[in-house]
């Protein structure tokens, strides 16, 4: 099984995607809030916010292993799913999401019928704030206005001729459930549904979300590699703006040391201290 992946010409990781270690006992909600308030991620109107998650449940396990063929060392991916957050609300759990989950809490659309929305689902960020289920998080800012991306996703709901998302859902569910002992869909050029739909939406805005992989084969791991290694490409094509973000990935299916080790991470610097305003002296 072979997945054609282009290697980035960069010789170092993107310094704007940093590892933000969890504090002792810190949950997903608190970690995300610290990443946003520490300005490790851009949330302004000119940016779109994506969240990569790495789950520990059986479905996530299958998805993470399937993406090992996109990695040069064939180790499992840290990521199992990607979703778009149009706007971060003051209470993060209430932020709405647009995604294509293979295990949606509300089933696949009304009455379990995903065709009217081309598989696109609406949800809430609270689903991914369960610490034990989703220990790996990466919040990324993409230099495309969130309203533009939201409009593109809405348009793709009625364009199965561009990307047939229900077909991807069925193929990936068959693989993850072990039905008929199928091979990995990535080897057939079939991307993970949520990543493939986001790829198509970004492409409609002239942004290549996964320059190292064929568009229809997009997956969370390919998005991660674009964020961490293709910053030079984005700086040339996006007026000097590369992907920004922060991550924590403490859950490894296989210890990294058995695969020769990954390049050193970029550690987040502490946020700048707030300057205290001096009170005017009384005369």
The 10s digit of each residue's pLDDT in 38-60 is: 999 999 999 999 999 999 999 99
3-state helix, strand, coil in the chain (%, to 5): 35, 15, 50
* Relative orientation angle of helices 193-203 and 165-177, to the nearest 10 degrees: 150
Does this model's pTM top 0.85? My answer is yes
Domain ranges of the chain: 17-259
H or E element, residue 234: helix 231-237
Question: Given this model, what pLDDT does residue 71 score?
Answer: 87
Mean local confidence (pLDDT), 16-37: 95
Q: Which of 112-126, 219-233, 257-271 is least confident?
A: 257-271
Judge whether residue 265 has pLDDT over 90: no
249 contacts 237 by C-beta, under 8 angstroms:
no
Neighbours of 275 (CB within 10 A): 6
| Cα separation values, 9 from 71, 142, 189, 236, 278, Å | 15, 20, 24, 13, 49
The pLDDT tens digits for 124-161 are 999 999 999 999 999 999 999 999 999 999 999 999 99
């Amino acid at each position: 099984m072979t997945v054609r992946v282009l290697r980035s010409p960069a010789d170092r990781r993107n310094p704007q995607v940093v590892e933000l270690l969890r504090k002792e006992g810190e949950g997903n909600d608190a970690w995300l809030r610290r990443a946003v308030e520490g300005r490790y991620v851009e949330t302004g109107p000119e940016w779109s916010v994506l969240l990569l998650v790495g789950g520990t449940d059986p479905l996530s396990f299958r998805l993470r292993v399937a993406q090992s063929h996109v990695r040069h060392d064939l180790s499992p991916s840290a990521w199992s799913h990607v979703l778009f957050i149009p706007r971060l609300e003051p209470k993060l759990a209430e932020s709405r999401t647009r995604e294509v989950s293979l295990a949606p809490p509300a089933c696949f659309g009304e009455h379990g019928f995903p065709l009217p929305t081309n598989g696109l689902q609406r949800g809430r960020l609270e689903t991914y704030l369960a610490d034990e289920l989703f220990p790996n998080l990466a919040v990324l800012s993409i230099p495309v206005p969130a309203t533009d991306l939201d409009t593109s996703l809405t348009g793709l709901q009625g364009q199965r001729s561009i990307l047939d998302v229900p077909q991807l859902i069925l193929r990936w569910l068959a693989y993850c459930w072990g039905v008929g002992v199928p091979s990995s869909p990535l080897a057939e050029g079939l991307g993970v549904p949520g990543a493939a739909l986001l790829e198509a939406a970004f492409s409609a805005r002239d942004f290549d979300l996964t320059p190292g992989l064929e568009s229809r084969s997009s997956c969370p791991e390919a998005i991660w590699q674009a964020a961490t290694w293709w910053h030079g490409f984005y700086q040339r094509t996006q007026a000097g703006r590369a992907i920004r973000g922060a991550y924590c990935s403490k859950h490894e299916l296989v210890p990294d040391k058995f695969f020769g080790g990954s390049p050193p991470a970029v550690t987040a610097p502490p946020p700048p201290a707030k300057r205290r305003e001096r009170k005017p002296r009384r005369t």
